[in-house]
Chain A
């Protein structure tokens, strides 16, 4: 669940509320650049607006790729003031990215791994999934942790890497997109200054100033469905599983979410009576009574954070507008059912990071950035479609829809076929990129962080800005990868042999230790696979000639394309 408490949410509340113990967030001192005093405009290659999950992921990613950036944030803390209880479910793909960025260890140490989700109706379990069953990644299927911890670790990592400047309490108050740069007006507590940036990445969240100032329509649609989060610490042991009730007897027959996070805090989330006053429904008295009914008598609990929320959808038509790129909630907003909000922001950043680094380094043409918009907008549209279906299942809009749902759930109590229709969220998996201009025949699969021998994983093998070319030799004497590398001279890519598990590994080669790479792509002897830094397969050449393999690498980076 990653509730996005945008303007749809009734009145953000100061936290901690009187009566809740609240979350203790770090604060960072305001940064006052020299330009405030001198009045001279600063010039930067990359400015990231917004130090949230998406902006910080991109800052850390670019830092590791050797690209300097300035990050502007209007606040002085992680999380969102007054709404610090935000996202909490981090998917395998996000965890793999966090591993590459160097913060997975901290997330894993603090958070709670899980893989089993159960959906209940009344007192009966009507649907169960276990994502561990076919997981071969180095990272677990899911880890739950409060979003501010992830942001906190990323802030410290970005500072440690020393390439990005984090400027707290620097609020963008003006934006002018020009042909040779984007001019940002920035307000600090001690005055204003200007930055002219070659590229601006707007990760400013659902209410993005930059997006609004540029007059872009994000097609907002607001839900009627209202919920109330009660983050609760209590002593009764409960299994680390995702439990969702379609109709909980202890919540007036409405939906309830139950999920553990770090610090033994449980995210209990209650669907509200549509006729209730949300402010009243989120009052401590009502919240306490609700949690008491949920947990039963005799369980001591402490309310950590309480807040009402409702969701909305937004989607920009294009994620790239000249020199301005949009990522995370600034580009797309969706209901939280399926954990697709924060996780997709992280994947936006990962999709953009390597492309931006290659374009800024002159190793790939400008047009490569257009594929960021094509790929991630398609992902956002799919995520919105899927989360909207879940939201509609949870909040039927007519008597007919309610009866249709009841019929499906009644059948699901007894028959496996109907269980698959019970929809309390389809949890995020990496999206496919149909229509991508840089994914060729045979490509499109997103590979997990699979083992490649000697304790290494795919993510270790793609470290760097370029592509990873994998040639599957026809035998021990097949050295075609050398000829492919020669044919691809000048292309940012490394080409190595990939052999099936149990086969002797040639020098510099990788082993498909789990057998999953060749199964998922799929590919066999004589084939050439192009793997991108985000672990998406960019294409496969069957019976690869060196020239055809090199052509695939160029295609995947849009080399030779004109804007």
Chain B
């Protein structure tokens, strides 16, 4: 399925800044744990299996795209 890749976050700067703020002073491991908890919480807001699987797929593809020189 096609997932949204157009802007949809209400306040992107605030969202980004809030993640940064909450990770201040955390070790890389603690930040990883934070990110994983966030993934699960966001996933439960979405719920739909096809959307979740497509997001995972998209994230994997982004990495491959980023690997290209």
Chain A residues with a Cβ under 8 A of chain B:
400, 403-404, 406-408, 410-411, 417-418, 421
Q: Which residues of A contact B40 (CB under 8 A)?
A: 407-408, 411, 417-418, 421
> Can you offer 24 A-B residue contacts whose CB atoms are under 8 A?
A400-B32, A403-B29, A403-B32, A403-B33, A403-B36, A404-B36, A406-B33, A407-B33, A407-B36, A407-B37, A407-B39, A407-B40, A408-B36, A408-B40, A410-B33, A410-B37, A411-B37, A411-B40, A411-B41, A417-B40, A417-B44, A418-B40, A418-B44, A421-B40
Q: Mark B23-47, 1 if CB is under 8 A from A, else 0.
A: 0000001001100110111001000
Q: Which 10 A-B pairs have the closest CB atoms?
A: A407-B36, A417-B44, A407-B37, A404-B36, A411-B40, A407-B33, A403-B32, A418-B40, A403-B33, A408-B40
Q: Which residues of A contact B33 (CB under 8 A)?
A: 403, 406-407, 410
Q: Give the interface SS of chain A, mostly helix, strand, loop or mixed.
A: helix
> Separation in Å of the B22 CB from the closest CB of chain A?
15
Q: Which residues of A contact B39 (CB under 8 A)?
A: 407
Q: Which residues of A contact B36 (CB under 8 A)?
A: 403-404, 407-408
The number of inter-chain residue pairs (CB within 8 angstroms) is: 24
> Separation in Å of the B36 CB from the closest CB of chain A?
4
Q: Which residues of B contact A407 (CB under 8 A)?
A: 33, 36-37, 39-40
- Rounded to whole angstroms, the CA-CA distance of A87 and B18 in the bound complex is 51
> Separation in Å of the A412 CB from the closest CB of chain B?
9
Q: Which residues of A contact B37 (CB under 8 A)?
A: 407, 410-411
- Rounded to whole angstroms, the CA-CA distance of A408 and B39 in the bound complex is 10
Q: Which residues of A contact B32 (CB under 8 A)?
A: 400, 403
> Separation in Å of the A53 CB from the closest CB of chain B?
35
> A407-B33, A407-B39 given. 9 additional CB < 8 A pairs?
A400-B32, A404-B36, A406-B33, A410-B33, A410-B37, A411-B37, A417-B40, A418-B40, A418-B44
Q: Which of B14-69 contact A (CB under 8 A)?
A: 29, 32-33, 36-37, 39-41, 44
Q: Which residues of B contact A417 (CB under 8 A)?
A: 40, 44
- Rounded to whole angstroms, the CA-CA distance of A417 and B33 in the bound complex is 18
> Separation in Å of the A416 CB from the closest CB of chain B?
10
Q: Which residues of B contact A406 (CB under 8 A)?
A: 33
Residue with the greatest number of chain A CB neighbours at <10 A, chosen from B32, B36, B37: B36
Q: Which residues of B contact A404 (CB under 8 A)?
A: 36
> Separation in Å of the B40 CB from the closest CB of chain A?
6
> Separation in Å of the A446 CB from the closest CB of chain B?
23
> Separation in Å of the A296 CB from the closest CB of chain B?
32
Q: Which residues of B contact A410 (CB under 8 A)?
A: 33, 37
> Separation in Å of the A315 CB from the closest CB of chain B?
24
> Separation in Å of the B19 CB from the closest CB of chain A?
16
Residue of A nearest to B47 (CB): A417
Residue of A nearest to B39 (CB): A407
- Rounded to whole angstroms, the CA-CA distance of A400 and B28 in the bound complex is 12
Residue of B nearest to A421 (CB): B40
- Rounded to whole angstroms, the CA-CA distance of A421 and B44 in the bound complex is 11
Q: Which residues of B contact A421 (CB under 8 A)?
A: 40
